[in-house]
Amino acid sequence: MTGRLQRIPGRAATISRRLGAAARERQVRERLIRLPPPPADTRTISLVVVSREGRDRLARLLPALWRTLRPGVQILVVDVGGDRPTRRYLSGQRDVELIEVPGNLPPAAAVNAGADRATGDLLCLLNDELEPLTPRWLERMRGALTGDVGVVGAQLVHPRQALLSGSRRDLTVQHRGIAFVPVPGEVPRAEHLRQPRPALGGTVVEVAAVSGAALLLERRTWAELGGLDEGYVHGAADVDLCWRVRRTGRRVVVVDDVVLLHHGRAARRLDEAAARAGLQAPDWRRFAALHGAEVTRAVALDRLTGRRVLTRAAYRAVVLPAPGAGAHGNADRLARALRGLGWSASVPAGRAVPDAADLVVVAGPGLDPAPLRRPGRAVAAWVRGGGGEAAGTAGRVWEEVVAAAAPAVAAAVLRDALVAGDADSRFQTTGRLRTY
């Protein structure tokens, strides 16, 4: 009895949380309904949905498509494995073309099979677990596919759970694009950008990649790149496609006002997620072999320049005061100047340097750089004047020595030296003295 009584407050909190989520969903839907109409555009669209034993999922998706799409969109459903309930359901649906492929066909190959039948100017890949919330969502994605934009994605949101459900993922954003996370000594890792609530307001955000669950691009771009790489079996094919689009000089973006519920993801257990990650490991090794060096260099430059489009991880610098009067003040001023570049820069209370630091700058001569070194880390010295002060750095192997009175000038020189460096993001020169 006691245990049952103890569960009552928790159950009440769950119900209260669910009621709050219902109100938030109403607010999101109302804001989306009030959106101004998308710009007029005559480009036609083909939509490819791959489904495996997906009768129930399609029964939710297709009515949502007919509510939110205007006539004229070509809808292609690729049925993997020839599922009878799916075939029976689709046989009675209007404006849907069924493509049957063998059950052993990998997802990337199934998508390619559907795309081969597409006739539209634009091609949209769509997961059968989705349910669009935004009216005319596909037209809004189309409106963003202009200029140098090569791929457009959307916000994918966990749906509101039932009142008595134990899940805590009510309307949290499962995907607002994909970013690369730097990993010391390895190829940066691709991760979904998540947040507590959908971002609305019409913003178009540039990202490293978007999920193939909702992805729009020109069909001629698709043909130019040869579609999805069928060497990927369980994952990474969408990131690979986006990276190849980026190679052509085009950008990848997410349209915030395009919101789609992503059913099923919130309920998957951690052990299932771990199993999926294990299945995908060979795919990410393939991605690393094909693009690893290029991605590593591009992510490093993204961090160094402070753009942070490919990654959200700021370049991390630590400024150490050298022994001497005024050294702490100088270190603080240089750290502020480095933060002005979009970096993360700090002055530790002692001499301890975090392992994650990408750059250590000693503000003044007198410290030995050797103990500060780690693989992938650069070590530099900043001296405010030349002559005797710069001479204090002699005999020590620094990647860079900058003699500049102004901290802002010193910060810019350090950044430019790193940008000009090699693929490991180290300085191009060793022991060079730059005076400004």
**pLDDT for 204:** 95
Report the run of H or E that residue 37 belongs to, with start and end.
none
Strand partners, 218: 122
CATH fold group of domain 316-435? Rossmann fold (3.40.50)
Rounded to 10 degrees, what is the CA torsion of 100, 103, 105, 110? 30
Q: Per residue in 71-89, pLDDT tens? A: 899 999 999 988 889 989 9
Transcribe 78-134 into DSSP letters: EEET--HHHHHHHHT-TTEEEEEE-TT--HHHHHHHHHHT--SSEEEEEETTEEE-S
The whole-angstrom separation of Cα 276 and Cα 284 is 12
The model's pTM: 0.85
The whole-angstrom separation of Cα 394 and Cα 136 is 66
Residue with tokens 């970013």, as numbered in its chain: 179
What is the 8-class DSSP label of residue 348?
-
Q: Read off φ and ψ for residue 126, nearest 5 degrees.
A: -140, 130
The whole-angstrom separation of Cα 176 and Cα 258 is 10
How long a stretch of residues is the chain?
436
**pLDDT for 319:** 95
Residue with tokens 């994952």, as numbered in its chain: 235
* Residue 174 tokens, joined: 């499962």
Buried b (16+ CB within 10 A) or exposed e, 132-154: bbbbbbbbbbbbbbeeebbbbbb
Transcribe 183-234 into DSSP letters: -TTSPPEEEE--BSS---SS-EEE-SB--TTEEEEEHHHHHHHTSS-TT-SS
**pLDDT for 255:** 97
Query: Is 322 in contact with 393 (CB distance < 8 Å)?
Result: no
The predicted model gives 338-365 an average pLDDT of 90
**pLDDT for 286:** 97
* Residue 415 tokens, joined: 């950044």
Domain ranges of the chain: 11-304, 316-435
Least confident of 71-75, 117-121, 272-276, 417-421: 272-276
* Residue 338 tokens, joined: 């480095």
Helix, strand, coil content of the chain in percent (nearest 5): 35, 25, 40
Report the run of H or E that residue 417 belongs to, with start and end.
helix 407-419
Q: Per residue in 168-188, pLDDT tens? A: 557 889 999 999 999 878 899
The whole-angstrom separation of Cα 339 and Cα 64 is 46
Cα 404 to chain centroid distance, Å, stands at 37
Q: Read off φ and ψ for residue 312, nearest 5 degrees.
A: -105, 5
Top mean pLDDT of 87-101, 243-257, 395-409 is at: 243-257
Q: Per residue in 22-66, pLDDT tens? A: 777 788 888 888 888 898 999 999 999 999 988 999 999 999 999
Q: Per residue in 417-429, pLDDT tens? A: 888 864 333 343 3
The whole-angstrom separation of Cα 259 and Cα 24 is 14
Which CATH number fits the domain 11-304, given the four candidates 3.40.50.300, 1.10.3720.10, 3.90.550.10, 3.40.50.620? 3.90.550.10
